[in-house]
């Protein structure tokens, strides 16, 4: 079942990609002549082209004297030496989805697509601790996507002190950092008592050397069981291995991050130990009234994003007591909004029911309380949303002239 879930997620990511405009594509003969790879489509698995995201494009003009350009997210740098270009060219870097079967992080489109250089240019990827979770520096590689849609690995130089991987090329295309060996944790952050599957993936049954270079990249596969030496858990919880797969289940309380490691003994005769961290969080919603004691509720129902609004509540069964209900009309990526008909908090702690509405007098108009709701839905934390709220004057249902200050925090899992 876990395999099927992972496969569906990967397929959704791959097949949501779109195609580049035909005007950006070079003639096939350019790439084939430059790299001498006329048989790539037969050797590798063609993949869709990546889809651009909302990250700003980095652009500059570079001429015969050479120059460099770094992506706006700082993850990739292109260095063009003197003499590589005969005339000035507008050079740009566009961030895209990564369709490399073994890809790490985002992919990048270097434009003009198919541009040829008289001298090799240098492409440098930077990596961080998060990228290295579950892999090793020697397993990192760089690949480009050729005209047939096949990702092709090239020889690289890795600087572990600077945390950079570099490759030389004579043409522009779509480029990607990738992991030729990885302990993949399906959910790197899980709630207390939650579980996550893990998989040991590799290239071509752990053929040496690492990283792979000079070959087309195929769909990654599970490591063969004979190469799995031992699984280990450092921390609380339960680890249940099944060859190249395992299930980790967290304790029923918040603990420091745990580390799962797996030792491999592949065909090259070396020993590799892959380590991955898993963070344990407590999913909950908290509220307090008039600066009093905090009251916590388990966030048992995932937050849903419907009609441009986040909807969340602490319980999933109808008619439950102590209902804390929040709706926030903000972008899906998060934001902050004042209280309104679309942004409100309701706390039903019977017999008291507090909401965002109050009345100045019993005969006066119904007013909206000052305050706000703030939601954080970071792309890197795709499983969860975080946030807080303040309601300066929450009126009681049966006596709206009496107001209270509501404050709260929430840490909730997203609905699928």
Strand partners, 96: 52, 107
pTM: 0.73
How far apart (Å, rounded) are the C-alpha atoms in residues 145 and 123?
14
For the chain, residues classed under CATH 2.60.220.30 are 2-179
291, two tokens = 């600066």
pLDDT at 16 over 50: no
Q: What is the pLDDT of residues 177-195, one digit of tens each?
A: 999 899 999 989 888 888 9
CB 238 within 8 A of CB 249: yes
Q: What is the DSSP string of 355-381?
A: -SEEESSTTS-EEEPSEEEEEE--GGG
Q: Which CATH superfamily is domain 183-209+219-281 in?
A: Immunoglobulins (2.60.40.10)
For the chain, residues classed under CATH 2.60.40.10 are 183-209+219-281
Most confident of 10-24, 28-42, 348-362, 397-411: 397-411
Provide the percentage of residues in the chain whose pLDDT is more than 90. Answer: 56
The pLDDT of residue 226 is 84
Q: Which CATH class is domain 2-179?
A: mainly beta
How far apart (Å, rounded) are the C-alpha atoms in residues 283 and 198?
22
Q: Helices H, strands E: what count in the chain?
A: 4, 34
User: What confidence tier does 380 reach under pLDDT thresholds 50, 70, 90?
Assistant: low
User: What confidence tier does 210 reach under pLDDT thresholds 50, 70, 90?
Assistant: low
Radius of gyration of the chain (CA): 26
Q: Using omega within 30 degrees of 0 as the cis cutoff, is the peptide bond preceding 351 cis? A: yes
Strand partners, 190: 280
CB 301 within 8 A of CB 315: yes
CA dihedral 47, 49, 54, 59 (to 10 degrees): 130
Q: What is the DSSP string of 88-132?
A: -EEEEEEEE----TTEEEEEEEEESTT-EEEEEEEEEEE--HHHH
The pLDDT of residue 363 is 65
234, two tokens = 């450092």
Length of the chain: 416
pLDDT at 197 over 80: yes
Arithmetic mean of pLDDT, 9-32: 32
Please state, rounded to an integer, the average pLDDT across all residues of the chain. Answer: 83
CA 328 from centre of chain: 23
User: What confidence tier does 2 reach under pLDDT thresholds 50, 70, 90?
Assistant: very low
Q: What is the pLDDT of residues 65-86, one digit of tens each?
A: 999 999 999 999 999 999 999 9
Q: What is the pLDDT of residues 302-341, one digit of tens each?
A: 899 999 999 998 876 555 567 888 999 999 889 999 999 8
pLDDT at 278 over 50: yes
Nearest-CA neighbor of 204 among 227, 221, 229? 221
């Amino acid at each position: 079942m876990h395999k099927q879930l992972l496969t569906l997620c990967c397929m959704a990511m791959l097949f949501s990609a779109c195609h580049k405009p035909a005007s950006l594509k070079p003639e096939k003969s350019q790439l084939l002549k430059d790299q001498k790879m006329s048989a790539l489509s037969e050797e590798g698995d063609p993949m869709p082209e990546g889809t651009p995201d909302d990250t700003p494009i980095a652009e500059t003009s570079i001429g015969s004297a050479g120059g460099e350009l770094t992506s706006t997210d700082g993850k990739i740098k292109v260095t063009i030496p003197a003499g590589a270009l005969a005339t000035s060219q507008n050079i740009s870097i566009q961030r895209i989805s990564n369709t490399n079967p073994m890809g790490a992080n985002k992919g990048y489109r270097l434009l003009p697509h198919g541009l040829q250089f008289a001298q090799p240019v240098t492409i440098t990827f930077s990596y961080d601790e998060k990228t290295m979770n579950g892999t090793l520096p020697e397993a990192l590689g760089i690949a480009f996507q050729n005209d047939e849609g096949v990702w092709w690995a090239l020889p690289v130089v890795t600087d572990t002190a600077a945390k950079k991987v570099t490759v030389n090329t004579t043409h522009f295309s779509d480029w990607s950092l990738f992991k030729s060996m990885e302990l993949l944790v399906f959910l790197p952050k899980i709630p207390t008592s939650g579980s996550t599957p893990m998989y040991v993936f590799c290239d071509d049954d752990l053929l040496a050397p690492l990283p792979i270079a000079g070959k087309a990249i195929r769909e990654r596969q599970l490591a063969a069981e004979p190469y799995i030496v031992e699984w280990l858990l450092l921390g609380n919880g339960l680890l249940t291995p099944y060859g190249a797969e395992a299930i980790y289940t967290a304790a029923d309380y918040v603990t420091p991050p745990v580390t799962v490691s797996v030792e491999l003994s592949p065909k090259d005769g070396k020993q590799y130990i892959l380590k991955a961290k898993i963070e344990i969080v407590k999913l909950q919603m908290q509220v307090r009234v008039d600066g009093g004691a905090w009251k916590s509720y388990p966030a048992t129902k995932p937050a849903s994003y419907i009609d441009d609004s986040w909807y969340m509540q602490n319980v999933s069964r109808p008619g439950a007591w102590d209902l804390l209900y929040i709706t926030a009309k903000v972008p899906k990526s998060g934001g902050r909004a004042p209280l309104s008909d679309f942004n409100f908090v309701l706390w039903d702690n019977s017999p008291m029911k507090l909401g965002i509405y109050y009345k100045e007098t019993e005969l006066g108009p119904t007013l909206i309380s000052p305050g706000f709701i703030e939601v954080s839905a970071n792309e890197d934390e795709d499983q969860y949303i975080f946030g807080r709220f303040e309601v300066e004057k929450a009126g009681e249902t049966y006596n709206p002239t009496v107001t209270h200050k509501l404050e709260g925090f929430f840490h909730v899992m997203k609905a699928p």
